[in-house]
Amino acid sequence: MTPYVVPTYPVVKHKLPGTERWAELAQLHSGGALWNNGTWVIRDIRGKTGQISNHARGVAMDLSFRRIEPAAWASTTAAANPSHSCKSA
């Protein structure tokens, strides 16, 4: 598989709001099973000195996953966003 690199995107000097929001929504909609380990940082691709990472362009994120039981997921999601109901299938 070819790594996804966006060489035409510029290196940015700060986090991009859309990327941050996407990571926030991933965490919310997963009920906390996903969490953000980081988005923006100026760095090269691991193991490829001189090749800028998508993180430096503000369009990448590192998410981690942990298994959460369905009942815990529903209560976590409801507490985080009371305006949305969360029903198990």
Query: What local confidence, expressed as pLDDT, does residue 32 receive?
Result: 86
* Predicted model pTM: 0.68
Tokens in use for 74?
């529903």
Pairing of strands 48-52, 34-38: unpaired
Query: What local confidence, expressed as pLDDT, does residue 36 receive?
Result: 93
Provide the sign of the torsion angle of the four alpha carbons 7, 15, 37, 61, taken in this order.
negative
Residue 1 half-sphere exposure, CB side, CA atoms within 13 Å? 3
In tens digits, the chain (89 residues) has pLDDT values of 666 778 889 999 999 999 999 999 999 999 889 989 999 999 999 899 999 999 999 999 999 998 877 666 566 555 555 554 444 43
Domain boundaries, the chain: 17-80
